[in-house]
Structure 1
Amino acid sequence: MEQQVVRHPGGFPVVGIIGGGQLARMCQPPAVGLSLTLAVLAEAPDASAALVVPASPVGAHDDLETVREFARACDVVTFDHEHVPAEVLAALEADGVELHPRPSALLYAQDKLAMRERLTGIGVRCPRWARVDSVADLGEFGADVGFPLVLKTPRGGYDGKGVRVVADAAEAADWFERAADEGLLAEEQVAFTRELAVLVARSPSGQAAAWPVVETVQTGGICTEVIAPAPDLDAALAATVTAAALQVAGELDVTGVMAVELFEVAGASGPDYVVNELAMRPHNSGHWTIDGAVTSQFEQHLRAVLDLPLGDPHSRAPWTVMGNVLGGDAPEHAELYSTYRHLLARDPGLKMHLYGKQVRPGRKIGHVTVFGDDLADLRERADHATGYLRGTITE
């Protein structure tokens, strides 16, 4: 694999990202601003990040020698996703490659069972859960906490994939046939008020920063809207969940950006929370920060993995709304440029970020952001823009 990394003449470091998706793509503008060189190990020549990052050799994230060769050109290596195999990570660590987050922390984003066990052990609130290896195990857990239950594959799930709700144990028989020795994660179905997310960043030296708690709106298991900050959020709960996220980052020795996805629930003495998921990378719930925060999650991630002083995470405006753009169903919606031009003219304050992906129905192909003082107006503008790009709104 040929490397084409040209270093900044001032001695600035090279940051390597394994995976060429949209998260790596969105690290390129802040890398330029920080005078860093970005290199991306892309899965294909037309991968999202490869379209904008000059140093984007093509290679598989699970091929050890390919990843090793890529890492040799980098001063630090981080990740666009959590799917790099443990044996590849271990080999890189043995080679002395500076990895962030470290494999010992990344495990808890890769394996939901390990995550649940660790969070429970450090006293962070979680749904009632159990590892289940058979229909009988699931039946026993269901007898304790009640059906329906949420069943998850420990590894590989995202955007609702690898998750199902079962009304009885027999419904999950097919999953146990495929689970082999891995087991499955069973959780109580949480009666939540809404979904929240906390985004934090932590550097190897222990400096940490947190953005405002946001509300995430899900449609069909996919996040379609993020509101920053979460409207009408109890101040004590905001402080509690931010402290919990920072605790998790410290206890797990996370380096870089981490998202903690939460359920807001009704507690005995007021609003409370339980943790749903962890992601140790820039996250969809933080895309609003590109335009809505003093320091974006992508700039902060680069700062953190290099142990640079962290930037200011405060909001630029009272409200920021981010809407995800999903691919439309009709073939004519694959041509985005004309709709893009229309929206630029219709709403000069709208910020559009398209990822260079081929349009497929329901696929995340970009996001839009608006910010200002009137939350209802911002939500309407973001909803119109995402609907127009998808083709569900035509005027």
Structure 2
Amino acid sequence: MSLKVGIVGGGQLARMMIAPAVELGIEVRVLAEQPEMAADLAASQVGDYRDLETVRTFARDVDVVTFDHEHVPQDVLRALVADGIAVHPGPDALAFAQDKLAMRARLAELGLPQPEWAAVSDSAALTTFLQAHGGRAVVKTPRGGYDGKGVRVVADADEAAEWLDALEPGEALLAEELVDFRRELAQQVARRPSGPLTVYPVVETIQRDGVCAEVVAPAPSASPRLRQVAAEIGTTIAEGLGVTGMLAVELFETTDERLLINELAMRPHNSGHWSQDGAVTGQFEQHLRAVLDLPLGDPAPRQDWAVMVNILGGPASETMSSRFAAVLEAHPAVKLHTYGKDPRPGRKVGHVNACGEELDAVAYEARSAAAFFAD
């Protein structure tokens, strides 16, 4: 009898867990938000992940519940745990991925490096923060933001007035210093419920308009000390927050050679897509192993370099399929991964991975292949 994993959320992350699950003999079931989502291949139920009875019915006969996203409400998560259902990552860990203010406070308790920050609930508090941090700051909504949404760089409290005015009593926004960074990095860790964990190489991520466009693995010119510090940060967070499954820690490498924690994701993450083809054990297989408390796979790279390039937007649906054959013919060494989504400007509809011994050549292959799908 095969192990059964229930994935809440029908997006591309759930879709990309299907293939390694088949290879491992694991049955995947998906609770999709609506029909014909990216993970429709394994969708066993369509329903609202915010409704307890919907999720409870879905979770009834699986060995573990895990997630395509971090948005399942805490009361639903805790009810599942009270029912005796294995939930990984659990509600205590996910609380810090769901609320950026809670995350910042907990990371401070752990003594981890992060930008200077404050909870601001009115214009006066935000103005005080701006005055103390050079007149500019990053303002974030604590919940729900992703891919640049819910994030603004402001030089005046009036630029966040809409968000401030919408706050309920007791709520606040997150204000952070505008970090002078030289590049963005990401550190992934996989951790089992029983405790063992494994660490992936730290990678460089390139963002465009708040969305991850490229990932280079491992991060070029990363000193042994930087790699060690990034791994220690990821390990400390995984253990300190009780994360189970895949954890991605987005980092700033500052101009004075510090690492500061930007964001957390407690699931497979865009910064780890390179590992599908570039690592001995890709992040999607590793996540399944971890949440089922199975022995973890080797995260080591298969070749010197891997480059992932996202396909953003893309041409109209009727011409998209004709470009698949063209890119496969032109770049036979590149691996193409599509999400089954209708293209629209800025939307992630797939990605390409290239691996090899020379970084410039690998990057050229990945970028050229992704360019076939430009609007």
Q: TM-score, normalised by structure 1?
A: 0.93
Q: Which runs of 5+ in 1 are unaligned?
A: 1-10
* Bigger shift: residues 305-314 or 234-243: 234-243
8 Å CA contact 2:14–2:39 kept in 1: the answer is: yes
CA distance in 2, matches of 1:44, 1:339: 28
Q: In 1, are the aligned partners of 2:119 and 2:175 still within 8 Å (CA)?
A: yes
Residue number in structure 1 paired with 2:31: 41
Where does residue 131 of structure 1 map in the other structure? 119
Following superposition, the deviation at residue 170 of structure 1 comes to: 2.1
Q: Aligned residue for 2:7?
A: 17
**Post-superposition offset of 1:348:** 0.6
Aligned residues of 1:327 and 1:334 also touching (Cα < 8 A): no
CA distance in 1, matches of 2:342, 2:255: 42
Q: Counterparts of 1:126-165 in structure 2 under 5 Å?
A: 126-165=114-153
- Aligned residue for 2:181? 192
Equivalent residue, structure 2, for 1:86: 74
Partner deviation per Cα, 1:214-251 (whole Å, 9 max, x = no partner): 00000111100000000011210111111111011001
Q: How far apart are 1:192 and its partner, in Å?
A: 0.1
- Aligned-residue sequence identity (percent) comes to 55
Residues of 1 paired with 2:187 and 2:50: CA distance?
30
Number of the residue aligned with 1:168: 156
Moved more, 229-238 or 184-193: 229-238
Residue 320 of structure 2 corresponds to 336
Alignment partners' CA distance in 2, 1:175 and 1:334: 40
Identify the match of residue 206 of structure 2 among 195, 212, 217.
217
Give 1:111's aligned residue: 99
Equivalent residue in structure 1 for 2:358, among 351, 374, 393: 374
Equivalence for 2:371: 387
| Post-superposition CA distance 1:196-218 (Å, at most 9, x none) | 00011000111000110000000
**Number of residue pairs matched?**
374
CA distance, structure 2, for counterparts of residue 352 and residue 319 of structure 1: 17
Q: Is the 8 A contact 1:334 1:359 kept in 2?
A: no
Paired with 1:183 and 1:164, the residues of 2 have a C-alpha distance of 15
1:360 matched to 2:344? The reply is yes
**Runs of 4+ displaced beyond 4 Å:** none
Structure-1 separation of matches of 2:352 and 2:200? 19
Q: Deviations over 1:45-104 (max 9, x none)?
A: 201001x22x52111111111101000021100010011111111211111111000100
Q: Does 1:295 pair with 2:281?
A: yes
Per-residue CA deviations over 1:124-159 (Å, capped at 9, x if unaligned) read 100000000000110111122222100000000000
Match of 1:274 in 2: 260
For the Cα contact (< 8 Å) 2:96–2:102, is it kept in 1?
A: yes
Q: Find the aligned partners of 2:111 and 2:370 in 1 and give their Cα distance.
A: 39
Matched residue of 1:277: which SS? strand
**Structure 2 unpaired stretches of 5+:** none
Residues 184 and 253 in structure 2, CA contact (< 8 A), matched pair in contact too = yes
Q: Normalised by the size of structure 2, how large is the TM-score?
A: 0.98
